[in-house]
Structure 1
């Protein structure tokens, strides 16, 4: 990290640290969340920082940390084979379609990143915006708020200029941070293809129409000629160039711990279905 104001993201060069790039893998929702947590422990303990790209298999509804489980249509998710997990990050629920979603995480020690939340978002979203440029998608941070349509759904909340990315006036990416005492996890979802009907069907008790959803949300496939493979490669390449990361993989120990964490926490009802007042 270069010298200068620790809150000035433009003064920070992350490339002089050890990073590993883990190319797109398919994991369950619970494992994806567990792997982020284990990667944070690795970075905090002096191991490599991690940038990773991943697919949710099966398709997963991820609840925000304080999300009310009553907002989920549990019967639909069970019938359709959609997993439900809960993130450490806040915000509303996101339906991560196995085909239509491209997700990434950036994990590093907290001391190496800006202490200001806004500056940290600005820094860590740099490769996300670069990935969109590589796909010829004219995307940038939201610069104006849209009225909230449905609070439980992340993509239908009011836009935030720190972490919501839009293209053609519609949301195309959401990003969130979990700041531990020793590490920062930023993960995000880039929409490749919009499935408004299926996304909305994972929620209970609303009257939002698919047309209304599509008026607010767009996908990479609507904004450019990029295939999903192109989109994955763009995100991987942007992350690798930004960090100067070497291609890497999980250790056997990390995978074992992640599987235990997934089973004991991220797939457990007392985590996924816990009510906000119980936290």
Structure 2
């Protein structure tokens, strides 16, 4: 499977608005339904407002400093993908999603990562960042944090050994969803503050780098480079969410991704429950 095969399908590129974490996660499931039922695949670039900590699927909620997050206006949600928590700063983080039917992409997980990360690596190249997959696994510093846990050559992108992007996949209703976090800038105090642990800021800055640290590109330029590269990769047309998709995402965010039952215990409420 190559990007050329993907270009023969119907894709839309959404340069998305900033939204809260629960809605951003819900929109991925809505996009999965749209891909499966309406033959329309999605790539998008987005940001988080307010800044949000997204927990890995199996992450223990006790690793979160809930008081710190509340005092500092940081939302908390839980992803469908595994791994450690990611602090998505409203400015310092740039995120993306790729959604496509499973039958159209490689069945092997590593091959699918290689395909879906092609535009991410190309975007870094356009930005003037010499990024690549990690060439060797690095041991974990603090397992509950995505950016401080072990670095994996299959899906972690680094610059001279320092992590600049984490990427993850899950499958739902015969659809593959990949999302990722790209470090535009670093907010080390907030990255370590969200966790209930005694972590020094240097623990983060020694392990992580950012687009801003590597280049003089402004955030708008970085967002555009990522969006343009994703769109070119799959031949997508500029698009947007439909009203019914946004309504469905709002309902799913309330019932699932924004509920304490899901965020703390991975339990999904039934319709009508609160």
TM-score (norm 1): 0.93
In the alignment, the residues of structure 2 paired with residue 24 and residue 43 of structure 1 have an alpha-carbon distance, to the nearest angstrom, of: 17
Q: Which residue in the other structure is 2:236 paired with?
A: 245
In the alignment, the residues of structure 2 paired with residue 177 and residue 38 of structure 1 have an alpha-carbon distance, to the nearest angstrom, of: 16
The answer (yes or no) to whether the contact 2:191–2:204 under 8 Å persists in 1 is: no
Number of aligned residue pairs: give it. Answer: 267
2:130 to 126, 135, 138: 138
In the alignment, the residues of structure 2 paired with residue 178 and residue 208 of structure 1 have an alpha-carbon distance, to the nearest angstrom, of: 30
Deviations 1:175-226 (A, max 9, x none): 000112410100000000011111100000x232111211100110001111
Structure 2: segments with no counterpart, 5+ residues: 268-274
In the alignment, the residues of structure 2 paired with residue 168 and residue 11 of structure 1 have an alpha-carbon distance, to the nearest angstrom, of: 27
2:222 to 222, 231, 234: 231
Q: Which residue in the other structure is 1:4 paired with?
A: none
In the alignment, the residues of structure 2 paired with residue 199 and residue 157 of structure 1 have an alpha-carbon distance, to the nearest angstrom, of: 13
Distance apart, 1:125 and its partner CA:
0.4
2:24 to 17, 25, 32: 32
In the alignment, the residues of structure 1 paired with residue 133 and residue 16 of structure 2 have an alpha-carbon distance, to the nearest angstrom, of: 25
What does 1:1-279 align with in structure 2 at a 5 Å threshold? 9-10=1-2, 13-204=5-196, 206-274=197-265
In the alignment, the residues of structure 1 paired with residue 192 and residue 264 of structure 2 have an alpha-carbon distance, to the nearest angstrom, of: 19
In the alignment, the residues of structure 2 paired with residue 111 and residue 39 of structure 1 have an alpha-carbon distance, to the nearest angstrom, of: 16
In the alignment, the residues of structure 2 paired with residue 165 and residue 87 of structure 1 have an alpha-carbon distance, to the nearest angstrom, of: 20
The answer (yes or no) to whether the contact 1:68–1:275 under 8 Å persists in 2 is: no
In the alignment, the residues of structure 1 paired with residue 134 and residue 161 of structure 2 have an alpha-carbon distance, to the nearest angstrom, of: 8
Distance apart, 1:107 and its partner CA:
0.3
Distance apart, 1:127 and its partner CA:
0.5
In the alignment, the residues of structure 2 paired with residue 271 and residue 40 of structure 1 have an alpha-carbon distance, to the nearest angstrom, of: 20
The answer (yes or no) to whether the contact 1:140–1:166 under 8 Å persists in 2 is: yes
The answer (yes or no) to whether the contact 2:54–2:78 under 8 Å persists in 1 is: yes
Distance apart, 1:11 and its partner CA:
7.9
Over the aligned positions, Cα root-mean-square deviation in angstroms equals 1.3
TM-score (norm 2): 0.95
